[in-house]
Amino acid sequence: MRLQDSVEPMILNILKNIQANLKHKQCSTNSPSHFLLKMSVSESGQKMEHQDWSQVVLRSTTRTAAAAAATVPTKRTASAIAAAKIDKTDDIVKPKYFSRESVLAIQEYRRDQNLTQRGLDGRIGFPAGTMNHLEGRTAAPTSTQLQTLNNMLKKALTRE
């Protein structure tokens, strides 16, 4: 007989006993922070009075004086106040995409060099798909991307 075959029935029996005890209200709670388990008779019918069935605190709901003192509010620094003001503003800043003229200049450069968008990404060192997003005006160029493209095209690309 395997160990698993003998353990599974024992676990099922224990679960049935717990369920029966809960139905007969042999388990009770004295308060939200205490849990008391009472069992009167074991499986074999022997009294279990030699067992220690005292209360065990799982979670205390009362606060100690030290914990209450530790939650004293602190002064807010100037940088924290400034950050809070920035968070509270409802101003939505629209990203600055390439202007139509800049997109046309990039496309003209790609045609002159016989490059695809992915090929230009590879030549410049941008992640794949970057030029697709920049030319499609679905992503705003970073200052580094703008500077790199300006140097490569030898033109001043603009954002709007």
Walk along the chain (160 residues) in steps of 10 and give the mean pLDDT of each run. 63 76 55 40 55 69 63 68 69 84 95 94 93 94 93 91
In the prediction, which pLDDT does 32 show?
Answer: 40
38 neighbors 29 (Cβ within 8 angstroms) = no
Helix (H) or strand (E) holding 12: helix 3-23
pTM, whole model, 2 decimals? 0.45
57 bridge partner residues = 34
In terms of phi and psi (left: phi > 0; alpha: psi -120 to 50; beta: otherwise), the region of 125 is left
| Residue 36 confidence (pLDDT) | 39
What are the CA-CA distances from residue 88 to residues 81, 93, 138, 151 (Å)? Answer: 11, 14, 27, 39
Question: CA 97, CA 140: separation in Å to the nearest integer?
Answer: 4
Q: What is the pLDDT of residue 125?
A: 93
CA 26 to CA 37: how far, in whole Å? Answer: 7
- What pLDDT, on a 0 to 100 scale, did the predictor assign at position 90? 65
